[in-house]
Amino acid sequence: PMGTVNVWARETNIPLDNTGACAVLLHGELRRIDLGKVNERYFLLMAGIGLDAVVAHAVEKKPIKRLGVLGYLLVGTWLGLGYESFRAYLTINGRLVKKNALQIVVGNTRLYGGAIKYTWKAKCDDGLLDVCV
C-alpha cells in the first residue's frame, strides 16, 4: 500500500498493512484491469483537468503535501474560492456535451482522495471509464 490515502488498495481490497499486502501479492488472484490514457500517458485511478489539476500541481512536491489529505483540503479550499468555471466540450458515448465546469474527472475507480466518490459507479475492471463534470 502506497500513496497519501492508498486509494488503489482500498478499491481492490488490498490490506493496508504491509504484511497483508505482501500476502495478497504472493497468493492473490491475477485479474485484468482497465487503464485510461491521456495523450501518451496512462493512468490507473483517474485523470482530471480544472480545479483538480490546479490543486494537485500546487500540492505536489511542496511541504504542505506532508499534511496528507488535510493539505489537499486546505489548498483546494483556498484555490477554489477564486476559481472560475470554464466551458467544456466533451464527446461522451458518441454524444457532444457542452458544460460549464470547475473540473472534469475521468475515473477508473470510485474513490477520489480516499473519501469523495466523484465517479461512484466506476469499476477498475468493467472496460469503462466514468466521467464527472
pLDDT at 122 (0 to 100): 95
Q: Which domains does the chain have, with CATH numbers?
A: 33-132 (2.60.200.40)
Cell of 35: 487503464
- DSSP 8-class letter at 64: G
pLDDT at 66 (0 to 100): 75
Buried b or exposed e, range 50-85, using 16+ CB within 10 angstroms: bbbebbeebbeeeeeeeeeeebbeebbeeeeeeeee
Sequential pLDDT tens for the chain (133 residues): 566 678 899 899 899 899 999 999 899 999 899 999 999 999 999 999 999 899 888 887 777 777 777 888 888 889 999 999 999 999 988 999 999 999 999 999 998 877 788 899 999 999 999 999 9
Radius of gyration of the chain (CA): 16
pLDDT at 111 (0 to 100): 87
Residue 11 CB neighbours (<10 A): 18
CA pair distance 13, 43, nearest whole angstrom:
19
122 Cβ contact list (under 8 Å, min separation 6)? 107, 108, 109, 110, 128, 129, 130
